[in-house]
Structure 1
Amino acid sequence: MSGKAWTYATTEGGQVAFNRDLYQTLGSLQDSDRRIIQDFTIPIRSGQAWEVKAGQVCRIVAVSGPQVGDFNVWNLHNPRERLWAARTRQLQSAHVKIYDRLWSNLPYLRPLLTVTGDSLSGYGEDSEGGRVHDLLGTRCDPYVHKMLTGEESSFSCHSNLTRAVLPHGLTELDVHDVLNVFQVTGLNEEDRYFMKSCPAKAGDYFEFFAEIDLLCALSVCPSGDQSKPLWGPEARDEDLIQTCRPLGVQVFEVNETILKTSGWEPPKEAYKVYTGLHGIEMPIFQKSESSP
């Protein structure tokens, strides 16, 4: 096998391969086929959590220009099931695009959502190897900030997400690796992670279809559009705040006929399909003569 072969290739009957017709339809819906049920704006340097029910479409919007958002997602009814960034990188790619899916952690391992729209889909790969909407990096946080600078700061995506999920009964321990929406990243010649200025313009959007009932949370990154250094000798918070803009969220209810005629159903958890018990054989209780 070539070292460049795609290791996680699917075979017939696998969940990775799926019919794209429904998602193509969802990505081109007219207003008559969907009804907006949530529409709000998240202010700069803050975060918010919201629900998206199975079969609904959600859109994240750069309402006034370039701005990065750090996105978390959980099963609404079981927060132990949540985005698994590493497996999604393997099953899909390190930078997600239309028709890619965000997958959940073990033992659930199923698509939580499918990307149906992306106004930055034409960005592709730039001259330095940068791509948009990445799963390579994770959220900024106050712990690494103090480790790098010696300073206390609550202006971070981790802190934003922590505050956002508290009203939903979750804690800091539930915040996990993110999808960096609108963020351009890559690996340089030294195999080190880099970030570039956000290319989004006012009105650009990233849209997805909920495969199951979801709790979503988004941090409007305190480092704004990534055009200024977040850490290092040139980093200054007064410069960063000038690059910050709000992000909008819209949730749409889809015409039921579209979903019914497609035969779509929420995906099953992997542990309900896999029954191998990891090769562990359960002991058989043998009743003795003295047993009651």
Structure 2
Amino acid sequence: MKLKRPQHEAPDDAAARKALKPVVAYPPETLPTPLLDAQPEVYRQAKAEWQLVSEVLVPAREAKTFRVPAGHFFRIRSVEGPQVGDLNLWNEHELSERFFTGKTRALHGTHLSTGDRMWSNFPHLRPMATITEDTLDWYGFDSFGGSVHDVIGTRCDPYTNKLLKGDDYHYCCHSNLCRALAEHVKKPIAEIEHLVHDVLNVFMCTGFDRQTGQYFMKHTPVRPGDYLEFFAEIDLLGALSACPGGACDSEHSSDQATCHPLLVEIFKPRGRGDDPLPGWESPKVSAYEGSHGLSTST
């Protein structure tokens, strides 16, 4: 791909304009404090007494759905070899409320880890899940600007594959998620495809090239036994695709890449009834009144 070259001379004050310091667009200090930060011992106690209630094994190049009640934990675990996964989340009772990568990215950054929250779309805008443990948190950002668990990539899809390669490939993560959701709700894909959305790229190592600005991927650092753990803030329906790119060190949407399954584990804090964490409440939807400046009077 050709480098983008300017076609206009820089103005005399170009250096001064570039030297202006950036500011954080959405200061995180004003966000509601997660219980994980305020009372981390509550989570530790809940995990010490939890019980495994279900497991879902996601085959390579496929996707599966899973349910997580509010107040439960779930883990996405590497079980056989380096493999990335694409995660969608919905409100189990209202699928139009779903994970909003753009606002999550604006609030927490390009890559997520322990303490970050996954926010839902408008008009709901509330935490759907909180990341409570990340065995890859040691990775940070490498010398290329890469890190793990991104909310910048969309998901591999058959439309872009057709555009770039000219063939039909049906095991892209978008297609996998569509099949899994369609099977869960017992509806044709044409009726539910619009509900499949941009993902959390679990275990995927990505960044932006500093010269061209292009989105890049590199071999995931995940190994069997690693996991990303979440606390469900609301009743969740999840869908996870074991990406056909495998470790995503060469290309997306490939039958040649070595791929492995991923395991989803759901845990219930033991013996705490319907209120599993002292001091925790399932978050309410946004309190914005919704008029957008228009009068609601008739």
- TM-score, with length taken from structure 1: 0.87
Q: Describe the shift of the 1:44–1:87 C-alpha distance in structure 2 as closer, same or farther (beyond 3 A).
A: same
Distance 1:8 1:256 in 2: 39
Q: Does 1:87 align with 2:94?
A: no
- Opposite residue 204 of structure 1, the aligned amino acid is D
Q: Look up the match of 1:103.
A: 119
Q: Does 1:6 align with 2:21?
A: no
SS in 2 for 1:219: strand
Q: Equivalent of 2:244, from 207, 217, 222? A: 222
Distance 1:24 1:220 in 2: 33
Q: Describe the shift of the 1:38–1:155 C-alpha distance in structure 2 as closer, same or farther (beyond 3 A).
A: same
- Opposite residue 105 of structure 1, the aligned amino acid is N
Distance 1:118 1:214 in 2: 20
Distance 1:261 1:29 in 2: 7
Q: Describe the shift of the 1:35–1:90 C-alpha distance in structure 2 as closer, same or farther (beyond 3 A).
A: same
String of CA shifts for 1:115-154, please: whole Å, max 9, x gaps: 0011001000111010000001011111111111111110
Q: Look up the match of 2:262.
A: 247
What's the offset of the Cα at 1:83?
0.5
Q: Does 1:187 align with 2:208?
A: yes
Distance 1:24 1:187 in 2: 37
After superposition, residues 111-122 of structure 1 pair within 5 angstroms as 111-122=127-138
Q: Describe the shift of the 1:106–1:256 C-alpha distance in structure 2 as closer, same or farther (beyond 3 A).
A: farther
Q: Describe the shift of the 1:24–1:89 C-alpha distance in structure 2 as closer, same or farther (beyond 3 A).
A: farther
Contact map agreement 1:47 1:160 (CA 8 A) in 2? yes
Contact map agreement 1:228 1:239 (CA 8 A) in 2? no
SS in 2 for 1:251: strand
Q: Does 1:281 align with 2:278?
A: no
Q: Look up the match of 1:289.
A: none
- Opposite residue 216 of structure 1, the aligned amino acid is G
Contact map agreement 1:24 1:116 (CA 8 A) in 2? no
What's the offset of the Cα at 1:40?
2.6
Contact map agreement 1:185 1:195 (CA 8 A) in 2? yes
Q: Does 1:146 align with 2:162?
A: yes
SS in 2 for 1:49: strand
Q: Structure 1: which 4+ aligned runs deviate by more than 6 Å?
A: none
Q: Does 1:26 align with 2:43?
A: yes
Q: Which piece of structure 1 moves more, 275-284 or 253-262?
A: 253-262
Contact map agreement 1:139 1:158 (CA 8 A) in 2? yes
Distance 1:213 1:5 in 2: 35
What's the offset of the Cα at 1:65?
1.8
Q: Describe the shift of the 1:152–1:37 C-alpha distance in structure 2 as closer, same or farther (beyond 3 A).
A: same
String of CA shifts for 1:161-212, please: whole Å, max 9, x gaps: 0011113326211100000000000011211100010110110000000000
Q: Equivalent of 1:174, from 175, 183, 195? A: 195
Q: Describe the shift of the 1:238–1:263 C-alpha distance in structure 2 as closer, same or farther (beyond 3 A).
A: closer
Q: Describe the shift of the 1:108–1:23 C-alpha distance in structure 2 as closer, same or farther (beyond 3 A).
A: farther
Contact map agreement 2:244 2:252 (CA 8 A) in 1? no
Distance 2:278 2:46 in 1: 14
What's the offset of the Cα at 1:64?
1.1
Q: Look up the match of 2:153.
A: 137
Q: Describe the shift of the 1:40–1:261 C-alpha distance in structure 2 as closer, same or farther (beyond 3 A).
A: closer
Q: Look up the match of 1:196.
A: 218
What's the offset of the Cα at 1:238?
4.9
Q: Describe the shift of the 1:193–1:166 C-alpha distance in structure 2 as closer, same or farther (beyond 3 A).
A: same
Q: In the comparison of the two structures, how many residue pairs are matched?
A: 271
SS in 2 for 1:266: coil
Distance 1:200 1:134 in 2: 14
Q: Look up the match of 2:227.
A: 205
CA RMSD of aligned residues (A): 2.0
What's the offset of the Cα at 1:25?
4.2
What's the offset of the Cα at 1:89?
0.3
Q: Equivalent of 1:51, from 67, 74, 77? A: 67
SS in 1 for 2:51: strand
